[in-house]
Chain A
């Protein structure tokens, strides 16, 4: 094992330019992947914040006895999808409107606003279909006059999220394939440069596993180095965006480590494919 590691390190030393080039290409592929990941992460984060605000407001017909409304609210709070159901009386509605409108509060002087039951849904149950279903059940109460839940923007929100998810996955896959091909090509150059050595190794009885090992270590190391480099670039890019454009968040440690592992895996797969092909051919 130590000998294989030394061999792998020797290759780095013997062709520093080629090694630097392959680490850089890996880094840039992973950087592109990282940037996209960052976009996806921030969209998701923003969506989660927006989702928190998903609310169904069921307006109560004027003159409905307060106890009926309270009973209905208790019933609704019992729905599995519902986190809370709060009764808002006419007075409270007015007060809220006045607070929200600040300096224009005079507009509501003496006005009558309808009371309502305000629902919040549980996390994970805020998708358009569930919201619609809950809304229609609430509407079944005879004294519910009207119901509002911003159906349009909920649907848009979800569509955006799905598109971001699918595009992220497709682009991520494409970049991963490109990385494997690049790593495979650079390892292949290293394999060809050592073709004579490999043929002698086989002649004196080295196993294929032994021959493969230094190349796998090399690919792994290049993947990790490329990954580190990509992480640094992504972090720099995020810092700049954060400072000059818009507030964003960065990957947490778990995702960063996963990214590095992914880089290492790409390196391993690329070199395994490349060496395997060479060994099968000779």
Chain B
């Protein structure tokens, strides 16, 4: 479903961010990506939704190849992915409902189906009562739930989450993580980058550790490296 084959990404100014990575993510998997800042986690995730293209090697996501994809192919691919960030990226002048329906409107979804889908997904993330609120009236955890609702409203096959709990306190972190587990249980694959080792230790999910652009540990292949987290 997601496959990295000998992927290297370098930047002219900052050098190599990801080096010779091979990685395969199966349907409905839950993967933690961990490692120090600058290890290449964000770059790796960006290559999944093709915000960045490899300098060499190939990324294939649901049949779309990084080597041949046109901008239009990338737009189509992103409709099948949900993407969530540490800083939520909500539109401050729009309500919760409008933030979520925005994701459907801009891909030309028929108006008739938008209302129902938005209500369903807001119920799923526990914000059914706050549809009319503006983002600034919500807590950090609630804002991240809105962002997750927006990512989910298109029924993605995978959710890419880059430090989704980085700005949240412990309680909100647990809540968001619980929500991600539920989403995963319904069949959506999740790739989540995080610094929160506490969170990882308590779970049995696949864990990948990166350092200096390389995968130094993959719990699915225990022999891959010696230094487990």
Contact = CB atoms under 8 A, between A and B. Distances in A.
Enumerate the 6 nearest inter-chain pairs by beta-carbon distance, A residue then B residue, closest first. A205-B79, A205-B78, A206-B106, A204-B103, A207-B75, A201-B106
Contacts of B78: 202-205
Interface of B: 49, 71-72, 75-79, 83, 89, 91, 102-103, 105-108, 150, 154
A206 B89 contact: no
Contacts of B105: 3
A145 interface: no
Interface string A189-206: 000000011011111111
A202 B75 CA distance: 7
A213 to B, nearest CB: 11
Given A204-B154, A205-B76, A210 B108 contact: yes
A45 interface: no
A62 interface: no
B89 A204 contact: no
B63 to A, nearest CB: 15
Contact of A207 (B72, B89, B103): B72
Contacts of B89: 196, 199-200, 203
Contacts of A203: 49, 78, 83, 89
Interface in A156-211: 196-197, 199-208, 210-211
Given A3-B105, A200-B102, A210-B108, A205 B91 contact: no
B75 A206 contact: yes
A204 B76 contact: no
Nearest to A203: B83
A202 B105 CA distance: 12
A204 B79 contact: yes
A197 B102 CA distance: 10
Nearest to A201: B106
Contacts of A201: 102, 106
A276 to B, nearest CB: 12
Contacts of A199: 89
Contacts of B71: 207-208
A6 to B, nearest CB: 10
Interface of A: 3, 196-197, 199-208, 210-211
A17 B228 CA distance: 60
Nearest to B80: A205
A237 B190 CA distance: 67
Contacts of A202: 75, 78
Given A206-B75, A207-B72, A196 B154 contact: no
Contacts of A200: 89, 91, 102
A208 B154 CA distance: 19
Interface core residue of B72, B76, B77, B106 (most chain A CB under 10 Å): B106
Nearest to A14: B93
A150 B154 CA distance: 81
A205 B75 contact: yes
Contacts of A207: 71-72, 75
14 contacts: A3-B105, A197-B91, A200-B91, A200-B102, A202-B75, A203-B49, A204-B79, A204-B102, A204-B107, A205-B107, A206-B75, A207-B75, A208-B71, A210-B106
B106 A204 contact: yes
Contacts of B102: 200-201, 204
Contacts of A197: 91
A206 B83 contact: no
B7 to A, nearest CB: 21
Contacts of B49: 203
Q: Select the residue from B76, B77, B108 with max chain A CB neighbours within 10 A.
A: B108
A205 B106 CA distance: 8
Contacts of B76: 205
A16 B127 CA distance: 35
Nearest to B153: A204
Contacts of B83: 203-204
Nearest to A204: B103
A207 B106 CA distance: 8
Nearest to B107: A205
Given A204-B83, A207-B72, A208-B71, 11 more contacts: A3-B105, A199-B89, A203-B89, A204-B103, A204-B107, A204-B154, A205-B77, A205-B107, A206-B107, A207-B71, A207-B75
Contacts of A196: 89, 91
Nearest to B71: A208
A256 B79 CA distance: 46
A151 to B, nearest CB: 64
A161 B150 CA distance: 65
Contacts of A3: 105
B13 to A, nearest CB: 16
